[in-house]
Amino acid sequence: MSESISGLMELKELYQEIILDHGKNPRNKGKCEGFTNDAKAHNTLCGDKVHIYLKLNKDKKIEDLSFEGEGCAISLASASILTETVKGKDLSFITRVSDDFINMIKNKKKITINSLTPDQMTTITSLSGVQEFPMRVKCATMAWHTLMSAIEKK
Ligand code: ZN
Weakest-pLDDT range from 2-6, 90-94, 129-133: 2-6
CA of 151 relative to ligand 1 center, distance in Å: 23
Which CATH number covers residue 63? 3.90.1010.10
Residue 137 sits at the vertex; the CA angle it makes with 134 and 138, to the nearest 5 degrees, is 125
Adjacency order of strands within the sheet including 48-56: 37-43, 48-56, 62-70
Model confidence pLDDT, tens digit, residues 46-85: 999 999 999 999 998 999 999 999 999 999 999 999 999 9
Q: Other C-beta atoms within 10 Å of 67: how many?
A: 28
Count of structural domains within the chain: 1
Would the pLDDT of 7 be above 80? no
CA of 77 relative to ligand 1 center, distance in Å: 10
Residues with CB under 5 Å of ion ligand 1 are 46, 48, 71-72, 75, 139
Contact 151, 105 (CB under 8 A): no
CA of 100 relative to ligand 1 center, distance in Å: 20
Would the pLDDT of 150 be above 90? yes
Q: Which of 94, 96, 105, 93 is nearest to 133 (CA)?
A: 105
Domain that holds residue 73: 3-151
The answer for residues whose C-beta is within 8 angstroms of residue 132's C-beta and 6 or more apart is none
pLDDT at 39: 98
pLDDT-derived band of residue 42, with 50, 70 and 90 as boundaries?
A: very high
pLDDT at 9: 78
pLDDT at 3: 58
CA of 90 relative to ligand 1 center, distance in Å: 28
Rounded CA separation 16/101 (Å): 17
Model confidence pLDDT, tens digit, residues 15-41: 999 999 999 999 999 999 999 999 999
**Identity (one letter) of the amino acid at 118?**
P
Would the pLDDT of 1 be above 90? no
pLDDT at 2: 53
Rounded CA separation 75/49 (Å): 8
CA of 72 relative to ligand 1 center, distance in Å: 4
Rounded CA separation 33/49 (Å): 21
What is this structure's pTM? 0.93
